[in-house]
Amino acid sequence: MTLDNILEEIKKAQTIVILCHESPDGDAVASSLSVMHAVKQLGKDADVVIPKYSKVFNFLPGADKIKDKGRYESYDLAIAVDCSDLKRLVGEEEYFETAKKTIEIDHHSVNSMFADYNYVDPVAPACCQVLIAMFEYFGINIDKELGTCILAGIITDTGGFQWGGVTPETFEFAAELLRKGVNISKLCQQVLRNKTKAHCEFEKLIYERIEFYYNGKLAVAYLTLEDYQKISKDSGDDEGLVDMIRDIEGVEVAVLLKEKEGTGGFKASMRSKDQVNVSDIGLLLGGGGHHNAAGCFVPGTLEQSKNKIVSLIIQEMNKYSF
């Protein structure tokens, strides 16, 4: 079984590198650190390589060990977490491509299964929740530090247990950690409620710019390179902004277009409240994600990108009855 193979590869490897998707969110960073803590218990000193991530996650146990480059040019084993496709390992793919063996642990339903061993649970609400079952199988002790990382990932991807996909196990695990002394409300504050001033500046811009389509059921806003120049280019300052668009009364689908330097286009972050499967839309443009949260790259000027994504979403929305 895959988990036996994964354990065997970890035990065999002399050098291990752990990687996650570009513009990493809390689930990506926390999954990486969780795997680092777990393999430590198996006697392995793995490198977590994340070239750019938000300083918001620096409180996570082990975050001080995160490297922007690997210690070795090539590793015996590369483990990718919270990443559905090799394309999304931007800046780290060389470590994956040159590793002797590769493992992917993930929860994205649209998944290219790009590793030698792929452990993917497409219904888990966070990659960190997938790790729980794996660690239990390996006999890893989920102590307060490891548990804090795992829970931080779950809190990020479930919006603090709000979004679909939360299971009884999610709460059972959270309850177990509460017993171990993890402060869940503090963790929620650190991961979700800790806005930078730049984030608030972005919010202001977005509120001014929201455009509604489809009888107010589709809402779109954007951030340009000029905005990033003026406000902040720090990774993380523009995280989670799309949620404020989805929260608006009557909105079923929300889109935030973020212009990406040197690409000639925009990254689209999409969210839906309920029925609309935005991952289907992401997939049409070579991206992906989950039913209610997905992303993709849309080439072109602002007008071109906006028109493209709006027309694709409207086509998709026509399939539903609201």
Q: Where along the sequence are the contacts to ligand AMP (CB under 6 A)?
A: 21, 84-85, 88, 269, 287-290, 293-296
- CB of 51 within 8 A of CB of 22? no
Binding status of residue 281 toward Mn ion by CB under 5 A:
no
Q: Please, what is the minimum distance in Å from the beta carbon of residue 93 to Mn ion?
A: 17
CB-wise, 53 or 75, nearer to Mn ion?
53
CB-wise, 30 or 294, nearer to ligand AMP?
294
Residue number, nearest CB to Mn ion? 27
37 binds, among ligand AMP, Mn ion, none (CB under 5 to 8 A by kind): none
Q: Please, what is the minimum distance in Å from the beta carbon of residue 288 to ligand AMP?
A: 3
236 binds, among Mn ion, ligand AMP, none (CB under 5 to 8 A by kind): none
- Please tell me the distance from the alpha carbon of residue 105 to that of residue 19, in angstroms, as a whole number: 10
- CB of 48 within 8 A of CB of 69? no
Q: CA Rg, the chain, in Å? A: 19
Q: Please, what is the minimum distance in Å from the beta carbon of residue 82 to Mn ion?
A: 4
Residue 218 DSSP SS3? strand
287 binds, among Mn ion, ligand AMP, none (CB under 5 to 8 A by kind): ligand AMP
The pattern of x and - marking residues 122 through 161 that bind Mn ion according to CB under 5 A reads -----x-----------------------------x----
- CA distance between the termini of the chain: 43
CB-wise, 82 or 237, nearer to Mn ion?
82
Both tokens of residue 143?
């102590």
Distance of CA 185 to the CA centre of its chain: 21
CB-wise, 151 or 177, nearer to ligand AMP?
151
Q: Please, what is the minimum distance in Å from the beta carbon of residue 279 to ligand AMP?
A: 7
Supply the DSSP symbol for 256: E
- Please tell me the distance from the alpha carbon of residue 219 to that of residue 211, in angstroms, as a whole number: 6
Cβ neighbours of residue 121 under 8 Å, at least 6 residues apart?
Answer: 107, 129, 130, 133
CB-wise, 82 or 85, nearer to Mn ion?
82
127 binds, among Mn ion, ligand AMP, none (CB under 5 to 8 A by kind): Mn ion
Angle at 235 between CA 132 and CA 227, to 5 degrees: 140
Report the DSSP pairing between strands 253-260 and 288-289.
unpaired
Binding status of residue 27 toward Mn ion by CB under 5 A:
yes
Distances (CA, A) of 194 to 55, 189, 199, 258: 11, 6, 10, 21
Q: Please, what is the minimum distance in Å from the beta carbon of residue 263 to Mn ion?
A: 20
38 binds, among ligand AMP, Mn ion, none (CB under 5 to 8 A by kind): none
- Please tell me the distance from the alpha carbon of residue 312 to that of residue 57, in angstroms, as a whole number: 34
Q: Which residues bind Mn ion (CB under 5 A)?
A: 25, 27-28, 82, 127, 157
